[in-house]
Amino acid sequence: MALVPAAGQGVRLAAGMPKAFVPLLGRPLLWHCVRSLQASGCIDVVVVAVGEQHREQARAAVAEAGDQVWIVTGGAHRCDSVRAALLTVPDAEVVLVHDAARCLTPISVIQAVVQAVLAGQRAVVPVLTVVDTIKQVDPDGRVVSTLDRAALRVVQTPQGFAGDLLRQAHQQPSGPVTDDAGLVEALGVPVTTLPGHPDAFKITTPFDLVLAEVLAGARAAGAG
Ligand code: C5P
């Protein structure tokens, strides 16, 4: 079971349409995302959350993926969209949450996350080490401190959860969380990590889209 929050506006991408529908090699990002989830061979149903006015567009984008892709209406924030999707799969034992914007995530990462949850990890996130030096700054941009990058990780999706834990996490009142593992952390439940992949970057800016076109083009050439 995978939930795909895709109801963002894509303001930073400035493509004039919600990010999920921006084309990559002529297909919407959402199409690529759903295809890789299905190609992993370990996801039965994919629930996609989009804005109410984009439900038909989403249905058309994933039409060839078959009837195991469900479209629901998302919410104002990412966690509202995930919650809406989660409500449609009340009995799922393993649930992945995967950003539509990370549509080039390798299948091996999706499989590894599912395997980790099946093996007993109740909350799993793919991560990368941090290559840049990270500084904390005050509202005026003055440096407050330099963080120890050896202890930092960049967090990606899909994030994998035991279904009951994710439902419990989404029932608590939450502030501005940017991922689902954050809600689990707030419950005091351990979240474990496994290796992510550079290709799982979140397409956010026009630069990212250029990068994604190059990457997807290279993959298509390699496959063909
Ligand atoms: O805004 P951000 O880049 O963190 O969004 C991550 C993912 O969450 C994107 O795939 C976006 O479509 C989705 N999202 C959503 N509902 C919102 C806001 C973002 O499904 N209200």
Atom of ligand 1 nearest to the CA of 49: 20
Residue with tokens 């629901």: 72
- Can you name the CATH fold of 2-223? Spore Coat Polysaccharide Biosynthesis Protein SpsA; Chain A (3.90.550)
Closest residue by CA, ligand 1 atom 3: 204
Collapse the DSSP code of 126 into the 3-class scheme (helix H, G, I; strand E, B; otherwise coil) and give the result.
strand
Give me the pLDDT at residue 224, please.
Answer: 66
How do residues 96-147 score in pLDDT, each as one tens digit?
999 999 999 999 999 999 999 999 999 999 999 999 999 999 999 999 999 9
Q: What percent of the chain has pLDDT over 70?
A: 100
C-alpha 45 to ligand 1 mean position (Å): 20
- pLDDT surpassing 80 at residue 223: no
Q: Which atom of ligand 1 is nearest to the CA of 178?
A: 4
C-alpha to C-alpha distance for 112 and 195, rounded to whole angstroms? 9
Q: Which residues does a 6 A CB cutoff place in the pocket of ligand 1?
A: 5-8, 19-20, 49, 74-78, 81, 99-101, 178, 202, 204
Beta-carbon contacts of 120 under 8 Å, excluding residues fewer than 6 positions away, are: none
Hey, which of 19, 77, 97, 99 would you mutate to test ligand 1's pocket, going by the most ligand atoms within 8 Å of its Cβ?
A: 99
In sequence order, what DSSP letters do the residues of 42-107 get, joined into one string?
--S-EEEEE-GGGHHHHHHHTGGG-TTEEEEE--SSHHHHHHHHHHT-TT-SEEEE--GGGTT--H
Instruction: Give the model's confidence band at 19: pLDDT under 50 very low, under 70 low, under 90 confident, else very high.
Output: very high
What ligand 1 atom has the least distance to the C-alpha of 18? 12
**Closest ligand 1 atom to the C-alpha of 101?**
10
Burial class, 186, CB count within 10 angstroms (exposed 0-12 / middle 13-18 / buried 19+): middle
CA distance 101 to 8: 9
